[in-house]
Amino acid sequence: MKRFLQILFLLVFVLDVHSVQAQFEKANQEFEQLSYATALDLYKKDFESNKRLVSLQRIAECSKKMKLYKEWESWSSKLVQFDGKNPESFLMYGQALLSNGKYMEAKQAFHLYGRYANGKLGEAQFLMASCDSAITQLSNPVSLATVKPHDVLNTPYDDWGLVKYREGFVFSSDRPWEQKNIDKNDHKVYGWTGRPFLKLFYVEYNKENNSFGNPTLFSDFFNGEYHTAGAAFNDRENTVFFSRTRFITTPETGNKPILRNEIFMSEAWKEAAPFKYNSILKYSVGDPACSADGKRLYFVSDMPGGYGGSDIYYCELGPDKEWGPFKNMGPEINTSGDERFPTLMGDNVLFFSSNGRIGMGGLDIYRATFEKNKWGNIIHMDYPINSPQDDFGLIVTKISSVPEYPDKVKLEGFFASDRFDGKGSDDIYTYTCITPQFQKEYILKGRTMNKETGLPISGVTISIMDIKTNSVTTFKSDDKGDYVLPLKPNREYEIVMKRNNYFASKQRLNTGDKLSVDALQADLKFDPIVLDRTKRLNNIYYDVNKATITPESQVELDNLLSVMKENPEISIELSAHTDSRGDATANLALSQKRAQTIADYIIAHGVAANRIIAKGYGKTKPLVSCDNGDCSEAEHALNRRTEFKVLRVNTSMQANNK
């Protein structure tokens, strides 16, 4: 009996050892297949029973891959205690501490990493500098920013990549959209996270009450079998770019799958076509962003020959509708780390995320501007927009001037982050921030043109007054009618254009409200002055059978006043007309009083009386003949009008406007 029990015990022990080993091998298999969610559970069970170092290392790695930051720190701490002689353990622990905002402890771990790892002192010093920078930002916050998680769009899953589209937004999410219960063994579940694959969703937005509707799948036409995410649209919203993923194997990886990205594009909702530079067997291409006209595409790739892990590239669409050669954006943007998630504001401000610069931890958001044909002026977006975790995908939905800070602008919009105060892993956040101006000078350029013929007008005098300082600068359009005007950012200007034999034109421009920062395009069109040609004054109203002007007429009266002040060389006849109903003598007298009332208003506001002749015509000059008495109310309204015409031009006053 004793012998039997010994054999039974030995058999159970062997089976148990075999079971433990099988569990460990299964964990390795899941890890190699990128099924980190399943592998994590198996490694935890193995470490609990076997205290295997490899399992502990893989637990920390899975936690990192799945962005389980607190678990990552906890298991990395055990890893340092278990394997304190391995410098990579200190690196893993330091990264986990950094991602949890524990900068002093992270700095110590990085110090030990640099001390014990051969040739890694520079990397360790860089990581410690990031800790010091983050500590400074948190202890001495200078950012005028507010950040808030979106209470409608966020779920316990991944939600990110919000971009404007039509009357709403498109975004990426791995929320369940077919079934509520998630089976980790389902082929529609992403083994990396244990959640569904990312899809594109669309949500309506009501601007009037700032409310969002219920998100729905953007389009089965675009959503693929695996991840479909990161949409980008041109300004006309008739072309969409997005990323899809595929699992592949290569001769180098054997049976181990690799997850790689490809970019697809669709124009006018045609079938999505692959991007010319996809090369899935060699590298990933993803994170598209396009210029307003859709003719320049920015993308991210880990192709060989870059500066780091993944770099930002761009290419141009040629006249033949083919994408030209791609170019790396260079060391001004790209680093030895990863650059991801480019977004554009206009065509000359780029936001992107990087973990290769001194920041707060994980991916931080940076801003770059395009000046003098190159990208530069890299600015780190301050806390709380950046955090110890990953921050990315920032878009601007509104920009405005800041009177108290003339060298800054206010931005509003959205970004994504996996910081701790969200509902899920990646969440969508709203933000406002006050940030430095994009550049020192704007350029307003265009052509001065005859409004009637469309032909250019040369020699137009253009006066620009800075409203704040009252300083005036004068320019002239060239012989082709072209002009180029330098303007300061975050300023309000009054621009007056004058040319002999044309009505002067005036407009206001606020450079703090412009999304495009390199050039503002504006063709300026002028009405020619033609003697005795009548111009109708719209929206001039009187009380019934009286010459009293109603308050609704104020805007049009002030427009006429501006015409008279901006064109001091002209003298006009101001005429009033009635409809065909009523006594002719009474109508004539009423129209004269009405014309004189408007003339008196203009004269009272500083225009010389000898430049205006008030004339009432009663019903003697109808636009629509109503002799038979069958005119409609609309036709009577056409006949009731107030007009002016230029009688003469004082040529001696035009000399300075040639």
The C-alpha angle with vertex 610 and arms to 607 and 615, in degrees rounded to 5, equals 100
Residues 557 and 584 in one domain: yes
Q: Which of 442, 454, 495, 451 is nearest to 472 (CA)?
A: 495
The answer to whether residues 316 and 455 belong to one domain is no
Confirm whether 590 is domain-assigned.
Answer: yes
Same domain for 466 and 501, yes or no, is: yes
Find the mean pLDDT for residues 369-383.
Answer: 87
| Residue with more model confidence, 38 or 521 | 38
Return the exposure string of 570-595: e unless at least 16 CB atoms fall within 10 Å of the residue's CB, then b.
bbbbbbbbbbbeeeeeebbebbbbbb
List pLDDT tens digits, range 224-267.
889 999 999 998 888 999 999 999 888 877 778 889 999 999 98
Q: How far apart are CA 220 and CA 233, in angstroms?
A: 17
**Do the domain assignments include residue 162?**
yes
d(CA 262, CA 286): 6
Q: 74 in helix, strand or coil?
A: helix
Backbone angles phi, psi at 204, to 5 degrees: -70, 150
* pLDDT score recorded for residue 488: 78
Q: Please check whether residues 348 and 485 belong to one and the same domain.
A: no
pTM higher than 0.75 for the full model?
no
604: CATH: 3.30.1330.60
Are 425 and 286 members of one domain? yes
3-state secondary structure 51-69: CCHHHHHHHHHHHHHCCCH
At 554, is the pLDDT very low, low, confident or very high (cuts 50, 70, 90)? confident
Q: Is the pLDDT of residue 617 over 80?
A: yes
Least confident interval from 94-108, 332-346, 356-370, 458-472: 458-472
Q: Is 211 helix (H, G, I), strand (E, B) or coil?
A: strand
| Residue 453: domain span | 442-526
In this structure, the answer to whether residues 173 and 131 fall within a common structural domain is no
| 473 domain residue, yes or no | yes
Q: Which residues pair with 313 in a beta bridge?
A: 299, 328
Domain match, 539 and 559 both = yes
The mean per-residue pLDDT over the stretch 562-573 comes to 90
Instruction: Let me know whether 120 and 183 are in one domain.
Output: no
SS3 category, 389: coil
pLDDT at 13 over 80: no
Residue whose structure tokens are 């433990």: 20
Average pLDDT value for residue range 77-103: 93
Number of compact structural domains in the chain: 4
Chosen domain end from 466, 500, 526:
526
The pLDDT, as a whole number, for residue 372 is 74
Model pLDDT, residue 514:
54
Q: Residue 221 above 80 pLDDT?
A: no
Give residue 8's pLDDT band: very low, low, confident or very high (50, 70, 90).
Answer: very low
State both tokens at 574.
Answer: 């101001």
Choice between 392 and 257, residue whose per-residue pLDDT is larger: 392
Q: Does residue 178 belong to any structural domain of this protein?
A: yes
6 lies in some domain: no
* DSSP letters spanning 303-329: -TTSSSSBEEEEEEB-TTS-B---EE-
Please identify, among 97, 119, 144, the residue that sits at the C-terminal boundary of a domain.
144
**Backbone angle region of 628, left / alpha / beta, with phi > 0 → left and psi within -120 to 50 → alpha:** alpha
* Interval 534-555 mean pLDDT: 81
Token pair belonging to 452: 């009637």
Share of the chain above pLDDT 90, in %: 51
pLDDT band (50, 70, 90) for residue 38: very high
User: The CATH number of the domain where 505 resides is what?
Assistant: 2.60.40.1120
Whether 173 shows a pLDDT value over 90: the answer reads yes
- 426, 418 in Cβ contact below 8 A? yes
What ranges in 447-497 are assigned the alpha helix state H? none
Question: Residue 574 pLDDT > 80, yes or no?
Answer: yes
Q: Clarify whether residues 376 and 407 are in a common domain.
A: yes
pLDDT 10s digits, 637-654: 888 888 999 999 987 776
The CATH number given to whatever domain includes residue 304 is: 2.115.10
Indicate if the pLDDT at residue 473 is higher than 80.
Answer: yes
Whether 508 has a pLDDT exceeding 80, the answer reads: yes
406 and 284 in one domain? yes
- The mean pLDDT value for 425-451 works out to 85
Query: Residue 465 falls within a domain, yes or no?
Result: yes
Q: Check whether residue 369 and residue 231 sit in a common domain.
A: yes
Last residue of a domain, one of 478, 500, 526: 526
For 539, residues 6+ apart whose C-beta sits below 8 A from its C-beta are 552, 553, 555, 556
Lowest mean pLDDT among 136-140, 441-445, 606-610: 441-445
Three state DSSP letters for 264-309 = EEEECCCCCEECCCCCCCCCCEEEEEECCCCCEEEEEECCCCCCCC
Whether residue 92 has pLDDT greater than 60: yes
Q: Is residue 159 part of a domain?
A: yes
- Specify which residues 279 forms β-bridges with: none
The CATH number of residue 56's host domain is 1.25.40.10
How large is the average pLDDT for residues 118-135?
A: 93
| 230-239, 361-370, 387-396, 539-548: range with lowest mean pLDDT | 539-548
Q: What is the mean pLDDT of residues 283-297?
A: 94
Comparison of pLDDT for 567 and 440, the residue scoring more: 567
- Are 557 and 516 in the same domain? no
| 13 is a domain residue | no
Parallel, antiparallel or unpaired: strands 442-450 and 524-526 = parallel
